A = this chain, B = another copy of it.
Protein backbone atom coordinates (compact mmCIF):
# COMPACT_ATOMS: atom_id res chain seq x y z
CA UNK A 1 0.00 0.00 0.00
CA UNK A 2 1.67 3.16 -1.17
CA UNK A 3 -0.65 5.57 0.51
CA UNK A 4 0.46 8.60 -1.37
CA UNK A 5 1.67 8.44 -4.95
CA UNK A 6 2.65 12.09 -5.05
CA UNK A 7 4.86 11.64 -2.04
CA UNK A 8 8.30 12.11 -3.53
CA UNK A 9 7.35 14.56 -6.25
CA UNK A 10 6.09 16.96 -3.66
CA UNK A 11 9.20 16.58 -1.52
CA UNK A 12 11.34 17.18 -4.57
CA UNK A 13 9.48 20.36 -5.44
CA UNK A 14 9.96 21.63 -1.89
CA UNK A 15 13.66 20.91 -2.02
CA UNK A 16 14.13 22.65 -5.35
CA UNK A 17 12.36 25.70 -4.11
CA UNK A 18 14.39 25.74 -0.88
CA UNK A 19 17.65 25.54 -2.78
CA UNK A 20 16.60 28.13 -5.30
CA UNK A 21 16.24 30.56 -2.43
CA UNK A 22 19.78 29.81 -1.26
CA UNK A 23 21.29 30.19 -4.72
CA UNK A 24 22.77 33.59 -5.43
CA UNK A 25 20.36 36.11 -6.75
CA UNK A 26 22.33 36.44 -9.97
CA UNK A 27 22.30 32.67 -10.52
CA UNK A 28 21.88 32.01 -14.17
CA UNK A 29 22.39 28.29 -14.57
CA UNK A 30 19.26 27.19 -16.40
CA UNK A 31 19.46 23.73 -17.89
CA UNK A 32 17.04 21.82 -20.08
CA UNK A 33 15.98 18.45 -18.71
CA UNK A 34 18.11 16.47 -21.13
CA UNK A 35 21.17 18.70 -20.77
CA UNK A 36 22.01 19.02 -24.44
CA UNK A 37 25.55 19.56 -25.63
CA UNK A 38 25.00 23.27 -26.09
CA UNK A 39 24.37 23.82 -22.38
CA UNK A 40 27.45 22.02 -21.17
CA UNK A 41 29.62 25.09 -21.22
CA UNK A 42 27.45 26.92 -18.68
CA UNK A 43 27.52 23.85 -16.47
CA UNK A 44 31.28 23.50 -16.81
CA UNK A 45 31.71 27.09 -15.77
CA UNK A 46 29.53 26.67 -12.72
CA UNK A 47 31.38 23.54 -11.64
CA UNK A 48 34.71 25.26 -12.12
CA UNK A 49 33.58 28.16 -9.96
CA UNK A 50 32.41 25.74 -7.26
CA UNK A 51 35.75 23.96 -7.27
CA UNK A 52 37.76 27.18 -7.32
CA UNK A 53 35.97 28.25 -4.14
CA UNK A 54 35.83 31.71 -5.65
CA UNK A 55 33.92 34.25 -3.65
CA UNK A 56 34.15 32.70 -0.23
CA UNK A 57 32.09 30.06 1.49
CA UNK A 58 28.79 31.89 1.29
CA UNK A 59 29.13 32.18 -2.45
CA UNK A 60 30.28 28.59 -2.62
CA UNK A 61 27.16 27.42 -0.85
CA UNK A 62 25.02 29.55 -3.14
CA UNK A 63 26.72 28.06 -6.18
CA UNK A 64 26.27 24.51 -4.89
CA UNK A 65 22.59 25.28 -4.37
CA UNK A 66 22.38 26.60 -7.93
CA UNK A 67 24.03 23.48 -9.30
CA UNK A 68 21.97 21.15 -7.10
CA UNK A 69 18.72 22.80 -8.07
CA UNK A 70 19.66 22.41 -11.73
CA UNK A 71 20.48 18.73 -11.20
CA UNK A 72 17.08 18.09 -9.61
CA UNK A 73 15.43 19.28 -12.81
CA UNK A 74 17.29 16.88 -15.08
CA UNK A 75 15.84 13.84 -16.83
CA UNK A 76 17.73 10.55 -16.76
CA UNK A 77 19.34 11.52 -20.04
CA UNK A 78 20.39 14.80 -18.53
CA UNK A 79 21.74 13.12 -15.41
CA UNK A 80 23.79 10.70 -17.47
CA UNK A 81 25.22 13.62 -19.40
CA UNK A 82 26.01 15.30 -16.11
CA UNK A 83 27.79 12.22 -14.76
CA UNK A 84 29.73 11.85 -17.98
CA UNK A 85 30.86 15.44 -17.78
CA UNK A 86 32.09 14.80 -14.25
CA UNK A 87 34.13 11.73 -15.04
CA UNK A 88 35.47 13.11 -18.30
CA UNK A 89 36.43 16.57 -17.22
CA UNK A 90 36.47 16.75 -13.41
CA UNK A 91 38.25 13.61 -12.45
CA UNK A 92 41.98 13.14 -11.90
CA UNK A 93 44.72 15.26 -13.42
CA UNK A 94 46.47 12.45 -15.27
CA UNK A 95 49.61 14.31 -16.23
CA UNK A 96 50.17 15.55 -12.68
CA UNK A 97 49.52 12.05 -11.40
CA UNK A 98 51.94 10.48 -13.85
CA UNK A 99 54.61 12.97 -12.90
CA UNK A 100 54.05 12.28 -9.22
CA UNK A 101 54.14 8.54 -9.74
CA UNK A 102 57.40 8.76 -11.59
CA UNK A 103 58.84 11.01 -8.93
CA UNK A 104 57.63 8.78 -6.13
CA UNK A 105 59.24 5.66 -7.49
CA UNK A 106 62.53 7.43 -7.30
CA UNK A 107 62.24 8.97 -3.87
CA UNK A 108 64.96 7.99 -1.44
CA UNK A 109 64.44 9.51 2.01
CA UNK A 110 61.61 8.75 4.38
CA UNK A 111 60.54 12.36 4.34
CA UNK A 112 60.37 12.32 0.55
CA UNK A 113 58.43 9.11 0.64
CA UNK A 114 55.88 10.45 3.13
CA UNK A 115 55.49 13.69 1.20
CA UNK A 116 55.10 11.69 -1.98
CA UNK A 117 52.41 9.51 -0.50
CA UNK A 118 50.53 12.53 0.67
CA UNK A 119 50.78 14.09 -2.77
CA UNK A 120 49.62 10.89 -4.43
CA UNK A 121 46.62 10.65 -2.15
CA UNK A 122 45.68 14.17 -3.02
CA UNK A 123 46.13 13.66 -6.77
CA UNK A 124 44.16 10.42 -6.68
CA UNK A 125 41.16 12.21 -5.20
CA UNK A 126 38.99 13.18 -8.19
CA UNK A 127 37.81 16.76 -8.40
CA UNK A 128 34.21 15.53 -8.71
CA UNK A 129 34.41 14.12 -5.20
CA UNK A 130 35.25 17.55 -3.80
CA UNK A 131 32.40 18.94 -5.84
CA UNK A 132 29.84 16.43 -4.60
CA UNK A 133 30.95 16.84 -0.99
CA UNK A 134 30.00 20.50 -1.18
CA UNK A 135 26.28 19.64 -1.42
CA UNK A 136 26.59 18.45 2.13
CA UNK A 137 26.41 22.04 3.38
CA UNK A 138 22.93 22.46 1.90
CA UNK A 139 19.74 21.60 3.74
CA UNK A 140 18.99 17.93 3.02
CA UNK A 141 22.30 17.79 1.21
CA UNK A 142 23.17 14.34 2.53
CA UNK A 143 19.86 12.94 1.33
CA UNK A 144 20.51 14.61 -2.04
CA UNK A 145 23.81 12.75 -2.38
CA UNK A 146 22.22 9.46 -1.38
CA UNK A 147 19.58 9.96 -4.05
CA UNK A 148 22.16 11.09 -6.58
CA UNK A 149 23.97 7.82 -5.98
CA UNK A 150 20.68 5.95 -6.54
CA UNK A 151 20.47 7.75 -9.91
CA UNK A 152 24.03 6.76 -10.66
CA UNK A 153 23.45 3.10 -9.79
CA UNK A 154 20.44 3.05 -12.08
CA UNK A 155 22.21 4.75 -14.95
CA UNK A 156 25.84 3.72 -14.77
CA UNK A 157 25.47 0.39 -16.60
CA UNK A 158 28.88 -1.26 -16.76
CA UNK A 159 30.71 1.89 -17.67
CA UNK A 160 34.04 1.68 -15.86
CA UNK A 161 34.35 5.44 -15.41
CA UNK A 162 30.91 5.73 -13.85
CA UNK A 163 31.61 2.69 -11.70
CA UNK A 164 34.71 4.43 -10.39
CA UNK A 165 32.61 7.51 -9.66
CA UNK A 166 30.17 5.31 -7.81
CA UNK A 167 32.96 3.67 -5.82
CA UNK A 168 34.25 7.04 -4.69
CA UNK A 169 30.81 8.25 -3.73
CA UNK A 170 30.06 5.01 -1.91
CA UNK A 171 33.22 5.32 0.17
CA UNK A 172 32.34 8.88 1.10
CA UNK A 173 28.85 7.78 2.14
CA UNK A 174 30.33 4.87 4.12
CA UNK A 175 32.41 7.35 6.08
CA UNK A 176 29.35 9.51 6.80
CA UNK A 177 27.04 6.61 7.58
CA UNK A 178 29.54 4.94 9.88
CA UNK A 179 27.69 3.03 12.57
CA UNK A 180 28.99 5.47 15.17
CA UNK A 181 26.87 8.23 13.63
CA UNK A 182 23.64 6.25 13.47
CA UNK A 183 20.94 6.35 16.08
CA UNK A 184 18.71 3.39 16.90
CA UNK A 185 15.13 4.40 17.67
CA UNK A 186 12.10 2.36 18.60
CA UNK A 187 9.06 3.30 16.53
CA UNK A 188 5.60 3.08 18.08
CA UNK A 189 2.06 4.11 17.28
CA UNK A 190 3.01 7.39 18.99
CA UNK A 191 5.48 8.16 16.19
CA UNK A 192 4.67 10.93 13.71
CA UNK A 193 2.20 9.82 11.04
CA UNK A 194 4.61 11.15 8.43
CA UNK A 195 7.22 8.66 9.64
CA UNK A 196 4.79 5.74 9.81
CA UNK A 197 3.67 6.55 6.28
CA UNK A 198 7.28 6.01 5.21
CA UNK A 199 7.34 2.59 6.85
CA UNK A 200 4.27 1.65 4.81
CA UNK A 201 5.95 2.94 1.69
CA UNK A 202 9.33 1.33 2.29
CA UNK A 203 8.25 -2.08 3.65
CA UNK A 204 9.90 -4.50 1.27
CA UNK A 205 9.10 -7.97 2.60
CA UNK A 206 5.49 -8.21 3.75
CA UNK A 207 3.49 -5.31 2.31
CA UNK A 208 1.44 -3.26 4.79
CA UNK A 209 -2.17 -3.35 3.61
CA UNK A 210 -3.66 -0.49 5.66
CA UNK A 211 -3.15 1.79 8.65
CA UNK A 212 -5.00 -0.77 10.77
CA UNK A 213 -2.54 -3.42 9.63
CA UNK A 214 0.27 -1.03 10.55
CA UNK A 215 -1.24 -0.39 13.98
CA UNK A 216 -1.42 -4.13 14.54
CA UNK A 217 2.30 -4.41 13.76
CA UNK A 218 2.92 -1.79 16.46
CA UNK A 219 0.75 -3.45 19.14
CA UNK A 220 1.92 -4.09 22.70
CA UNK A 221 3.55 -7.42 21.80
CA UNK A 222 5.26 -6.12 18.69
CA UNK A 223 8.31 -3.93 18.18
CA UNK A 224 9.76 -1.87 15.37
CA UNK A 225 13.27 -0.42 15.37
CA UNK A 226 15.07 1.73 12.84
CA UNK A 227 18.42 3.39 12.31
CA UNK A 228 18.49 7.15 11.66
CA UNK A 229 21.24 9.54 10.61
CA UNK A 230 21.35 13.00 12.25
CA UNK A 231 21.25 14.72 8.84
CA UNK A 232 18.23 12.72 7.66
CA UNK A 233 16.16 12.78 10.84
CA UNK A 234 12.89 11.95 9.11
CA UNK A 235 14.19 9.01 7.08
CA UNK A 236 14.47 5.57 8.63
CA UNK A 237 17.54 4.09 6.88
CA UNK A 238 16.71 0.48 7.68
CA UNK A 239 14.04 -0.96 9.91
CA UNK A 240 13.08 -4.28 11.38
CA UNK A 241 9.78 -5.69 12.65
CA UNK A 242 9.73 -7.96 15.68
CA UNK A 243 6.99 -10.14 17.14
CA UNK A 244 7.20 -11.14 20.80
CA UNK A 245 5.78 -14.62 21.16
CA UNK A 246 5.53 -17.58 23.52
CA UNK A 247 7.33 -19.80 20.99
CA UNK A 248 9.04 -19.90 17.63
CA UNK A 249 6.81 -18.73 14.77
CA UNK A 250 6.37 -20.74 11.62
CA UNK A 251 3.80 -18.78 9.60
CA UNK A 252 3.96 -15.13 8.74
CA UNK A 253 0.24 -14.97 7.99
CA UNK A 254 -0.56 -16.27 11.48
CA UNK A 255 1.75 -13.56 12.77
CA UNK A 256 0.12 -10.73 10.85
CA UNK A 257 -3.55 -11.70 10.75
CA UNK A 258 -4.62 -11.23 14.30
CA UNK A 259 -7.92 -10.26 15.78
CA UNK A 260 -8.58 -6.76 16.92
CA UNK A 261 -7.51 -6.91 20.54
CA UNK A 262 -4.39 -9.01 20.75
CA UNK A 263 -4.31 -10.26 24.32
CA UNK A 264 -0.68 -11.28 24.19
CA UNK A 265 1.51 -9.36 26.58
CA UNK A 266 5.14 -8.55 25.86
CA UNK A 267 6.07 -9.38 29.44
CA UNK A 268 5.34 -13.07 29.10
CA UNK A 269 7.00 -13.61 25.73
CA UNK A 270 10.09 -15.80 25.56
CA UNK A 271 10.82 -15.47 21.87
CA UNK A 272 11.55 -12.49 19.66
CA UNK A 273 10.91 -13.15 15.98
CA UNK A 274 12.43 -10.75 13.46
CA UNK A 275 10.03 -11.19 10.58
CA UNK A 276 11.01 -8.39 8.20
CA UNK A 277 13.99 -6.13 7.54
CA UNK A 278 13.83 -3.39 4.92
CA UNK A 279 16.49 -1.11 3.58
CA UNK A 280 15.00 2.17 2.44
CA UNK A 281 17.76 4.01 0.60
CA UNK A 282 18.77 2.60 -2.77
CA UNK A 283 21.64 5.06 -2.71
CA UNK A 284 23.15 3.36 0.36
CA UNK A 285 23.52 0.02 -1.43
CA UNK A 286 26.75 -1.58 -0.26
CA UNK A 287 26.88 0.49 2.94
CA UNK A 288 26.43 -2.15 5.59
CA UNK A 289 23.68 -1.34 8.09
CA UNK A 290 21.72 -4.56 8.62
CA UNK A 291 24.18 -6.56 10.71
CA UNK A 292 24.50 -3.82 13.28
CA UNK A 293 20.75 -3.37 13.37
CA UNK A 294 19.98 -6.92 14.50
CA UNK A 295 22.64 -6.87 17.21
CA UNK A 296 21.60 -3.49 18.55
CA UNK A 297 17.93 -4.51 18.56
CA UNK A 298 18.73 -7.73 20.40
CA UNK A 299 20.50 -5.65 23.04
CA UNK A 300 17.62 -3.19 23.28
CA UNK A 301 15.08 -6.00 23.65
CA UNK A 302 17.11 -7.79 26.33
CA UNK A 303 17.42 -4.57 28.29
CA UNK A 304 13.66 -4.02 28.16
CA UNK A 305 12.51 -7.63 28.50
CA UNK A 306 15.08 -9.75 30.33
CA UNK A 307 12.87 -12.85 30.16
CA UNK A 308 13.40 -13.19 26.39
CA UNK A 309 15.35 -16.36 25.69
CA UNK A 310 15.22 -16.93 21.94
CA UNK A 311 16.03 -14.49 19.16
CA UNK A 312 15.26 -15.74 15.70
CA UNK A 313 13.96 -14.63 12.33
CA UNK A 314 11.05 -15.81 10.28
CA UNK A 315 12.57 -15.27 6.86
CA UNK A 316 11.61 -15.68 3.24
CA UNK A 317 13.70 -17.87 0.94
CA UNK A 318 13.61 -15.68 -2.13
CA UNK A 319 15.71 -17.92 -4.41
CA UNK A 320 14.37 -21.38 -3.66
CA UNK A 321 11.77 -21.76 -6.40
CA UNK A 322 14.06 -20.33 -9.03
CA UNK A 323 16.92 -22.61 -8.00
CA UNK A 324 14.64 -25.64 -7.90
CA UNK A 325 13.38 -24.95 -11.40
CA UNK A 326 16.90 -24.58 -12.70
CA UNK A 327 17.98 -27.74 -10.93
CA UNK A 328 15.00 -29.63 -12.35
CA UNK A 329 15.77 -28.29 -15.80
CA UNK A 330 19.15 -29.89 -15.49
CA UNK A 331 18.09 -33.08 -13.77
CA UNK A 332 14.42 -33.75 -13.36
CA UNK A 333 15.00 -36.79 -11.17
CA UNK A 334 15.41 -34.45 -8.24
CA UNK A 335 11.64 -34.74 -7.90
CA UNK A 336 9.64 -37.77 -8.90
CA UNK A 337 7.07 -37.25 -11.61
CA UNK A 338 4.11 -37.30 -9.22
CA UNK A 339 5.57 -34.53 -7.15
CA UNK A 340 6.38 -32.45 -10.18
CA UNK A 341 2.79 -32.80 -11.28
CA UNK A 342 1.42 -31.96 -7.90
CA UNK A 343 3.62 -28.87 -7.70
CA UNK A 344 2.27 -27.73 -11.04
CA UNK A 345 -1.34 -28.36 -10.02
CA UNK A 346 -3.63 -25.51 -9.04
CA UNK A 347 -4.50 -24.92 -5.43
CA UNK A 348 -2.39 -27.71 -3.94
CA UNK A 349 -1.61 -25.52 -0.94
CA UNK A 350 -5.29 -25.52 0.03
CA UNK A 351 -5.54 -29.29 -0.26
CA UNK A 352 -4.20 -30.96 2.86
CA UNK A 353 -3.42 -34.21 1.13
CA UNK A 354 -1.50 -32.83 -1.81
CA UNK A 355 0.27 -30.41 0.47
CA UNK A 356 1.35 -33.16 2.85
CA UNK A 357 2.79 -35.13 -0.02
CA UNK A 358 4.76 -32.17 -1.30
CA UNK A 359 6.01 -31.30 2.16
CA UNK A 360 7.87 -34.56 2.34
CA UNK A 361 9.86 -33.87 -0.81
CA UNK A 362 10.22 -30.10 -0.77
CA UNK A 363 11.45 -29.56 2.78
CA UNK A 364 14.61 -31.64 2.27
CA UNK A 365 15.29 -29.92 -1.03
CA UNK A 366 14.82 -26.53 0.58
CA UNK A 367 17.19 -27.48 3.42
CA UNK A 368 19.73 -28.64 0.84
CA UNK A 369 19.29 -25.35 -1.06
CA UNK A 370 19.92 -23.28 2.02
CA UNK A 371 22.74 -25.34 3.49
CA UNK A 372 24.69 -26.64 0.53
CA UNK A 373 24.02 -24.56 -2.56
CA UNK A 374 26.56 -21.82 -3.14
CA UNK A 375 27.19 -18.79 -5.30
CA UNK A 376 30.94 -18.71 -5.32
CA UNK A 377 31.70 -19.73 -1.77
CA UNK A 378 28.75 -17.86 -0.25
CA UNK A 379 25.37 -19.35 0.49
CA UNK A 380 23.37 -19.10 -2.75
CA UNK A 381 20.28 -17.62 -1.07
CA UNK A 382 20.91 -13.91 -0.41
CA UNK A 383 18.86 -13.79 2.79
CA UNK A 384 20.64 -16.90 4.07
CA UNK A 385 23.97 -15.28 3.27
CA UNK A 386 22.97 -12.14 5.15
CA UNK A 387 22.02 -13.94 8.37
CA UNK A 388 24.83 -16.48 8.23
CA UNK A 389 27.30 -13.59 7.85
CA UNK A 390 25.75 -12.06 10.92
CA UNK A 391 26.39 -15.17 12.97
CA UNK A 392 22.98 -16.88 12.82
CA UNK A 393 22.37 -20.57 12.18
CA UNK A 394 19.60 -22.23 10.18
CA UNK A 395 17.20 -23.49 12.81
CA UNK A 396 13.97 -24.68 11.19
CA UNK A 397 12.27 -24.98 7.82
CA UNK A 398 8.58 -24.00 7.94
CA UNK A 399 6.14 -25.66 5.59
CA UNK A 400 3.63 -23.19 4.14
CA UNK A 401 4.98 -20.42 6.29
CA UNK A 402 4.18 -17.74 3.69
CA UNK A 403 1.09 -18.43 1.60
CA UNK A 404 1.02 -15.00 -0.07
CA UNK A 405 1.32 -14.95 -3.83
CA UNK A 406 4.90 -13.77 -3.48
CA UNK A 407 5.73 -16.47 -0.93
CA UNK A 408 4.24 -19.19 -3.13
CA UNK A 409 6.00 -17.94 -6.24
CA UNK A 410 9.42 -17.51 -4.70
CA UNK A 411 9.60 -20.43 -2.31
CA UNK A 412 6.52 -22.64 -2.73
CA UNK A 413 5.35 -21.22 0.57
CA UNK A 414 8.39 -22.30 2.57
CA UNK A 415 10.00 -20.07 5.19
CA UNK A 416 12.96 -20.47 7.48
CA UNK A 417 13.95 -19.48 10.99
CA UNK A 418 17.47 -18.22 11.44
CA UNK A 419 18.48 -18.47 15.08
CA UNK A 420 20.71 -15.92 16.84
CA UNK A 421 22.23 -17.74 19.82
CA UNK A 422 23.67 -14.92 21.85
CA UNK A 423 26.78 -16.67 23.08
CA UNK A 424 27.53 -18.24 19.74
CA UNK A 425 27.01 -15.38 17.31
CA UNK A 426 30.68 -14.46 17.12
CA UNK A 427 31.80 -18.05 16.71
CA UNK A 428 29.29 -18.69 13.92
CA UNK A 429 30.19 -15.43 12.24
CA UNK A 430 33.89 -16.31 12.32
CA UNK A 431 33.38 -19.79 10.94
CA UNK A 432 31.20 -18.53 8.10
CA UNK A 433 33.54 -15.62 7.35
CA UNK A 434 36.60 -17.82 7.24
CA UNK A 435 35.39 -21.01 5.65
CA UNK A 436 31.74 -20.39 4.72
CA UNK A 437 30.76 -23.17 7.08
CA UNK A 438 26.98 -23.05 7.47
CA UNK A 439 25.69 -23.57 11.00
CA UNK A 440 22.40 -25.50 11.31
CA UNK A 441 20.27 -27.24 13.87
CA UNK A 442 20.42 -31.03 13.87
CA UNK A 443 16.97 -31.17 12.35
CA UNK A 444 17.90 -28.99 9.40
CA UNK A 445 21.19 -30.81 8.94
CA UNK A 446 19.32 -34.10 8.76
CA UNK A 447 16.83 -32.66 6.26
CA UNK A 448 19.63 -31.24 4.12
CA UNK A 449 21.34 -34.63 4.07
CA UNK A 450 18.15 -36.11 2.67
CA UNK A 451 17.65 -33.35 0.10
Contact = CB atoms under 8 A, between A and B. Distances in A.
Given A6-B260, A161-B110, A175 B175 contact: yes
B58 A425 contact: yes
Given A114-B164, A124-B124, A215-B4, A189 B178 contact: no
Given A55-B430, A136-B178, A114 B192 contact: no
A295 B58 contact: yes
Nearest to A288: B57
A324 interface: no
Contact of A231 (B6, B58, B141, B180): B180
Given A58-B425, A192-B189, A211-B211, A160 B120 contact: no
Interface in A310-356: none
Contact of A230 (B101, B181, B196, B425): B181
Contact of A160 (B104, B114, B141, B192): B114
Given A57-B291, A58-B295, A167-B118, A160 B110 contact: yes
Most central of A54, A163, A193, A425 by chain B CB within 10 Å: A193
Contacts of A231: 180-181
Contacts of A292: 57
A187 to B, nearest CB: 10
A98 interface: yes
Interface string A244-255: 000000000000
Interface string A169-202: 0001001101111000000011111101100000
Determine which residue in A115, A172, A181, A197 has the highest number of CB atoms from chain B within 10 A of its CB, and name it.
A181
A41 B193 CA distance: 50
Nearest to A390: B56
A137 interface: yes
Contact of A105 (B98, B111, B295): B98
B212 A180 contact: no
A410 interface: no
A180 B433 CA distance: 36
A191 B192 contact: yes
Nearest to A112: B160
B121 A121 contact: yes
A32 B425 CA distance: 33
A5 interface: yes
Nearest to A389: B56
A138 interface: yes
A375 interface: no
B136 A180 contact: yes
B211 A164 contact: no
Interface in A392-451: 425-426, 429-430, 433
B430 A164 contact: no
B137 A59 contact: no
Contacts of A377: none
A266 B160 CA distance: 48
Interface string A94-121: 0000100110110000110011011011
A386 B215 CA distance: 37
A378 to B, nearest CB: 16
Given A57-B291, A430-B54, A111 B425 contact: no
Contact of A189 (B54, B58, B194, B391): B194
A430 to B, nearest CB: 5
A3 interface: yes
B430 A261 contact: no
A426 B58 contact: yes
5 contacts: A6-B260, A10-B261, A55-B430, A133-B178, A189-B193
Given A142-B180, A192-B193, A211-B211, 7 more contacts: A56-B425, A56-B426, A59-B426, A101-B105, A136-B180, A137-B178, A189-B197
Identify the 7 closest CB pairs spanning chains A and B, nearest first: A136-B180, A56-B429, A230-B230, A190-B192, A6-B261, A6-B260, A55-B426
